[in-house]
Structure 1
């Protein structure tokens, strides 16, 4: 199944201005998680798909937060699935941006704005890859899923998980996060735990507190727990994750009721990152055991799970890995690393369903989750070519 590379490049050149215009519209349409419904951005994707003659449909658990599927074969174990999330993180303090977060302003061949590379360039590239495949008579070789609520922690029941539970399938998939220096074959897992401490309140100026007859300081107990947490470790390395290992970080802390009250409550959020070969549940149990050891008749701990996501990795010998490795070298002139990444994303959901998934490969840019996020415009036709050719080569 061969297609002339010159013909593909002619197509990427033909559509590059339309693709850029579409990406501008996407960036100019706020879809901040927790603030904006994804309904507008989902409708925008559907309208563009319709304009390009591509079949599409909305699939939603929450009708105000619809996923959008573009393509012919939702449930078939065939074709290359492109995935991108529709939501973004907030823009933050706009005074710190040189370019307006939702202005889609262009300077020095860079398009700036929240979501430019995370993940709206991926949306635009996916839709136009499907259009080119349609022009080539090969639309059945790829499909696209635009999913909601990824930025809430990549653990939502509304987005990718809902589509997969309703039968979404493919021969392989690419989550269209930015970057070409790496063909990302997996990600570390993670556990987020709220550790809560209950103590006993009493006036800090009272004699009973002075004599330790009444009161138990929840914050002191929490501090002791945090100090000992460094000794709770998970051993092991993974050759697909060079430089990465287990790490646990206290990230949020709350406590107390007033300036003159012995605190009777406190809590800390622990963010732990684990390799695919490390057992999340084993780590959780170790944390529970530490908390149990620190309890007294007046100090009680509770441990609740906020997130529990197992790390994943696919074989570097998977066909989609070899395809992207070769195309990256040919089109971008880059010899990419083939490895897993540190942060988790929704790739684990697709891998768990038996879909070999690249957990990040896409447009070049910088600033995701930061100020002045941008995508390099010159990389868009190159990645578009790679996406089209990857779908063709996967089917050959």
Structure 2
């Protein structure tokens, strides 16, 4: 129940946020259960945007569209925006807590456009998924996306004005951005006692030295860390293909993980002297 909204962006008012805001949970530490032996000291942030493009519909067989006196294709305009976002050289933000990760911008994870095969699309929309590093400026990201959108919208409006040979042609295309999800990157120190307790437990029970890196996907760890609860943002049994149709977990590793959790709690909380 605590992570009920994790799949939808981990930033609603239910689950962990509800409990924290009402001071119904507290603690000296937390472990976010996630497959793998990496002692995850943090997660990247998340920014999800919806880009909406408005055009002008007209029958594709009409003389108005043939001469471009009417109509503006929202879908192809959106496609140009998405490709421009993909081609842009985004800042290569890095952080020592995330040695193999950087800022990642993925345009067009969901795309919708048009309504009928013989009508020029007047509406098109797409989701853009952005994974943020601790140093990433959301304002800078939004400003660059807005600049790219504005340039392409102006370019396409000028295209329709010129091709229709109508210098008084009104603006046919527009675009807007809506923020759907936003949450910050979050980390704890790799030398925090909770992290060291987990590392030592893994060494003792699995006889391996685990890595202590931040992870790429986001979760509710930032809520707990921001509320003063040190959190390992991922550690658990062996598993794989997360979110896939054949997501799996190793049954034998579950018993080992329980032993590791017991060792972490007993040492971190000093339960036995």
Normalised to the residue count of structure 1, the TM-score between the two structures is 0.60
For residues 281-301 of structure 1, the C-alpha deviation after alignment (integer angstroms, 9 at most, x for no partner) is 321232122222333411100
Q: Equivalences for 1:326-337 in 2 at 5 Å?
A: 326-337=200-211
Q: 1:188 aligns with which of 12, 20, 44?
A: 44
Q: Take 1:358 and 1:383, find their aligned partners in 2: how far apart are those partners? A: 14
2:171 matches 1:314: no
**How far apart, in 1, do the equivalents of 2:91 and 2:117 lie?**
38
CA distance in 2, matches of 1:193, 1:264: 20
Match of 2:101 among 224, 244, 266: 244
Deviation, structure 1 residue 235 = 3.3
8 Å contact from structure 1 (residues 199, 216) kept in 2: yes
Give unpaired runs (5+ residues) of structure 1. Answer: 1-66, 68-145
Greater RCO (Cα-Cα under 8 Å, separation 6 or more):
2
- Mapping of residues 121-132 of structure 1, within 5 Å: none
1:315-339 superposed Cα distances (whole Å, 9 cap, x missing partner): 1011111111111111111211110
Aligned residues: 251
Q: Does 1:365 align with 2:239?
A: yes
Provide TM-score, normalisation by structure 2.
Answer: 0.86
Task: Tell me which residue corresponds to 1:134.
Answer: none
Q: Which runs of 5+ in 2 are unaligned?
A: 158-170
Q: What pairs with 1:142-161 in structure 2 (closer than 5 Å)? A: 146-161=2-17
- SS across alignment from 2:40: strand
2:112 & 2:68 partners in 1: Cα distance?
24
Contact 2:3–2:220 (CA under 8 A) maintained in structure 1: no
Q: Measure, in 2, the Cα distance between the counterparts of 1:308 and 1:234.
A: 19
Q: Quick one: which of 290, 299, 304 aligns to 2:173?
A: 299
